[in-house]
Structure 1
Amino acid sequence: MRGKRTAMGAALAAGALAVTGLAFAPSAAAVTPQTATITASCGIFGGGSATLTATQSGTSATITLSTSAITAPVAVAQDSITSTLTMANSAGSSVVFSGTKNPAMAAGGSVSVGPLPGTVASGDSLDAYGGSLTMVIFGVTVNCTASGPQSPGPFVFD
């Protein structure tokens, strides 16, 4: 019986050490804020408020843009919009997020693209203001630009 108690105590001690190790492990890379809003103009295609959502895993990041201010003129199939989001970096360069990810959208439905993948560096501070979004839908190019800085502020990557 004594051997079982010793083994049980050792197992509990090992478990406690593992939990303590997790508590002090470095946290995963994160972007702050995770969401931001902009006011965008897409020329004859409309404009208005849009929400940007960012995620980060190391040097890989994604951004999703969604807006009800701009609607799909016709039904759009899933993953059929080619999108390029260029974000201004406070370091003076720009970072590009691009891909063909989008949900299916009904005619008159809200527009959403992403998650668009890109590569970031620790300390990058990215804002849609000073950048652009280009979407190619059925061969038609839609160019959008932000009319002011993101709110509550730029995405800052760890």
Structure 2
Amino acid sequence: MRGKRTTTGAAVMIGALAVTGLTFAPTAAAVTPTTATINASCGLFGGGAATLTATQNGTSATITLSSTAIKTPLALAADSITSKLTMVKASGGTTVFSGKKNPAMAAQSPVTVGPLSGTVASGDSLEFYGGSLQMTIFGISVTCTASAKQSPGPFVFD
């Protein structure tokens, strides 16, 4: 009977160690890189350097664009900009991220839109160059385009 308890205790200990190992195992980065920079021209809003920040959770992904060079000409309330970000797929076609998410911004403030939501597949490689960001504010459409590829490179999703 004593041998049976030792065996059971050893099995429980091995199981606990296995669970602990799983708990502390590192998680893989879902999208790489997580940030990229672009040089964008946005009509009324001006132009210049902007940062794209990407996240992924399975097939759901978000991208946020922020820039100190691109400015809002008017004061804007939170969640008042309807945005559609079109990214170009390396394999052909496009992926669209959209939403009505932005912080409140005073006139002449740096622009931030997002997180904008979209759907990705494993292996998708997405680039802003060749795509666009279309923002609709008070019924007026503003389109941003990039003059060169994003740096350090396209977003690649797991």
Aligned to 1:73, the other structure's residue is in SS state coil
Partners of 1:94 and 1:21 lie apart in 2 by: 37
CA contact (8 A) 2:125 2:155 kept: yes
TM-score under structure 1 normalisation? 0.88
Partner residue, 1:74:
74
Tell me the residue number matched to 2:146.
Answer: 146
Report which stretch shifted further, 81-90 or 13-22.
13-22
Q: Which runs of 5+ in 1 are unaligned?
A: none
- Alignment partner of 1:45 is 2:36: no
Write the mapping of 1:104-143 to structure 2, written as runs, cut at 5 A: 104-143=104-143
Q: Which residue of 1 aligns with 2:16?
A: 15
Task: Within 5 Å, give how 1:27-46 maps onto structure 2.
Answer: 27=27, 30-46=30-46
Measure the CA separation in 2 of the matches of 1:34 and 1:20: 27
Give yes or no for contact 2:75–2:105 (8 Å, CA) kept in 1: yes
* Counterpart Cα distance in 2 of 1:24 and 1:78: 39
Q: C-alpha separation between the residues in 2 aligned to 1:146 and 1:33?
A: 18
CA contact (8 A) 1:29 1:57 kept: no
Q: Is 1:55 aligned with 2:48? A: no
Corresponding position of 1:92: 92
Unaligned runs of at least 5 residues, structure 2: none
Q: For 1:96-131, what per-residue CA distance to the aligned partner results, in whole angstroms no more than 9, with x for missing partners?
A: 000101111111111000000000011110000010
Provide the rounded CA distance (Å) in 1 between the counterparts of 2:117 and 2:128. Answer: 15
Q: Deviations over 1:12-46 (max 9, x none)?
A: 54431211233568x45600000000000112431
* Distance (whole Å) between structure 1 residues aligned to residue 80 and residue 50 of structure 2: 20
User: Normalising to structure 2: TM-score of the pair?
Assistant: 0.88
Please state whether the residue corresponding to 1:150 is helix, strand or coil. Answer: coil
**CA RMSD between the two structures:** 2.2
